[in-house]
């Protein structure tokens, strides 16, 4: 009997000890929860429990909080207090080691994080350049209409390195094909594009950006176009499901067109036209949209317009529209439509090229 009593006493002691070292949350309706506070955004609070895992509570429904471990509490004035937390009479009190007890109305709390969440937040502020990347690669069949009628392989790659205040974006794409309409001087639809852009937030809505873009387009006899751009962007909409940005800036473009094939069937034959090199400044006016459709599909759309500042009758425009539907965590199905327009291509080239690709998407996170 004595051994059973001792065993019962030990069980009660360890149970009470475990509860004593757990966070306590009491709601206004009297419900009581025990666990470890993970985080709060001032609207909801996430509590990790042994029995039910993570549970989410409405912050305004909380009557009392009591913790033994330190929490990082951020208030409306931007100040952060670190220490065990208690609440009484609608106020939250943080027992800091250096500034004593910091008190504030519960409504002034904007963020709460435990140590693990705080470390993840700080890592996101200053991630290493080799970490925090996400993106994907596309492989698919292409159909091109305009200067050619072709079907062949299309490849694309995108990668982004976002932090809380900045973002690096890289992209590259290529289409390799041969014209299905053989004719003297016909060219293959060999289109390569690539670039890198760096965004830096000025405030939650406004950001500055610099970018470098490169392209080669055999359809328009373009050997290489190099464009350096700087400007400002505006987040018109920025939610977890929708991002709509508008961008404006100035770019400097250097482009070289290859020799344009002549007509060897003419009598006498028409010689090749000399190559052309252009250097000019132009405006960069753009709009970008990312929209999540349900749980598995993401829609992207971009439109850019580049009017030549030295000759306003000359301009260039690009339009891209695509979707990616997740099949698994890393595999998806992608569809991409692109329109490339140049107002002054060399003689023998059309102004507009349409490209449609579809195929597999392989996503990654590092």
Q: What is the pLDDT along the chain (366 residues), one digit of tens a residue?
A: 545 545 444 444 444 444 445 899 999 898 999 999 999 988 899 999 888 888 999 998 998 999 988 999 999 888 899 999 998 778 899 999 888 889 899 888 999 999 888 887 777 766 677 777 889 999 987 666 666 666 678 889 999 998 888 999 999 998 887 666 655 445 556 789 999 999 999 998 999 999 999 999 877 788 899 999 999 999 999 988 999 999 999 999 999 987 655 555 544 554 555 678 899 999 999 999 999 998 899 999 999 999 999 998 899 999 999 999 999 989 999 999 999 999 988 777 788 888 888 899 999 876
- Tens digits of residue pLDDT in 182-232: 554 455 567 899 999 999 999 989 999 999 999 998 777 888 999 999 999
Residues 224 and 356 in one domain: yes
On whether the CB atoms of residues 173 and 136 are closer than 8 A, the answer is no
Taking CA atoms, 172 is separated from 61, 194, 223, 304, in Å, by 50, 4, 17, 17
Name the β-bridge partners of 290: 243, 300
Residues 45 and 182 in one domain: no
**Which conformational region is residue 30 in: left (phi greater than 0), alpha (psi within -120 to 50 degrees), or beta?**
left
Residue 128 lies in a domain: no
Among the listed residues 224, 293, 218, the one whose alpha carbon sits nearest the alpha carbon of residue 254: 224
Residues 219 and 173 in one domain: yes
Residue 11 lies in a domain: no
Residue 223 lies in a domain: yes
d(CA 86, CA 91): 8
On whether the CB atoms of residues 191 and 355 are closer than 8 A, the answer is yes
Residues 160 and 267 in one domain: yes
Residues 37 and 105 in one domain: yes
- Tens digits of residue pLDDT in 331-357: 999 999 999 999 988 777 788 888 888
Residues 101 and 168 in one domain: no
Residues 6+ apart with CB under 8 A from 308: 280, 281, 282, 314, 315
Give the H or E element holding residue 228.
Answer: strand 222-238
Q: What is the CATH number of the domain that holds 298?
A: 2.40.160.40
Residue 327 lies in a domain: yes
Residues 99 and 151 in one domain: no
Question: Scanning the structure block, which residue is given the tokens 């920025």?
Answer: 238
Domain containing residue 90:
22-122
Note if the bond before 268 is cis, omega within 30 degrees.
yes
Which of 122, 157, 173 delimits the end of a domain? 122
Which of 95, 122, 149 delimits the end of a domain? 122
Residues 185 and 312 in one domain: yes
Q: How confident is the model at residue 349, as a pLDDT? A: 75
Give the H or E element holding residue 61.
Answer: none
Residues 175 and 30 in one domain: no
Residues 296 and 317 in one domain: yes
Give the H or E element holding residue 17.
Answer: helix 2-20
Residue 182 lies in a domain: yes
Which of 122, 146, 177 delimits the end of a domain? 122
Q: How many domains does the chain have?
A: 2
């Amino acid at each position: 009997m004595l051994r059973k009593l001792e065993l019962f006493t030990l069980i009660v002691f360890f149970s009470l000890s475990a509860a004593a070292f757990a966070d306590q949350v009491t709601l206004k309706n009297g419900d009581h929860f025990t666990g470890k506070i993970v985080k709060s955004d001032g609207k909801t609070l996430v509590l990790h429990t042994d029995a039910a895992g993570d549970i989410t509570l409405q912050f305004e429904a909380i009557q009392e909080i009591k913790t033994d471990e330190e929490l990082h509490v951020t208030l409306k004035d931007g100040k952060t207090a670190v220490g065990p937390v208690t609440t009484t009479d609608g106020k939250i009190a943080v027992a800091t080691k250096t500034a004593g007890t910091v008190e504030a109305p519960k409504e002034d709390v904007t963020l709460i994080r435990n140590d693990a969440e705080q470390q993840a937040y700080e890592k996101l502020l200053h991630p290493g350049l080799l970490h925090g990347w996400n993106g994907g690669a596309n492989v698919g069949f292409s159909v091109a209409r305009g200067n050619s009628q072709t079907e062949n392989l299309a490849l694309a790659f995108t990668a982004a390195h976002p932090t809380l205040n900045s973002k690096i974006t890289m992209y590259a794409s290529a289409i390799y094909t041969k014209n299905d309409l053989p004719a003297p001087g016909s060219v293959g639809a060999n289109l390569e594009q690539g670039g890198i852009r760096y965004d830096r937030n000025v405030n939650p809505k406004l950001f500055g950006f610099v970018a470098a873009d490169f392209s080669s387009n055999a359809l328009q006899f373009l050997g290489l176009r190099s464009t350096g751009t700087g400007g400002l962007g505006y987040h018109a909409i920025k939610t977890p499901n929708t991002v709509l940005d508008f961008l404006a800036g100035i770019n400097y473009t250097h482009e070289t067109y290859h020799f344009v094939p002549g007509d060897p069937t003419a009598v006498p034959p028409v010689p090749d036209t000399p190559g052309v090199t252009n250097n000019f400044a132009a405006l960069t006016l753009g709009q970008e949209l990312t929209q999540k459709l349900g749980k598995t599909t993401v829609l992207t759309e971009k439109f850019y317009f580049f009017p030549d500042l030295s000759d306003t009758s000359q301009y260039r425009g690009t339009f891209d529209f695509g979707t990616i539907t997740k099949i698994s965590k890393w595999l998806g199905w992608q569809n991409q439509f692109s329109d490339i327009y140049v107002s002054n291509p060399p003689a023998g080239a059309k102004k507009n090229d349409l490209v449609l690709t579809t195929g597999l998407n392989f996503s990654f996170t590092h």
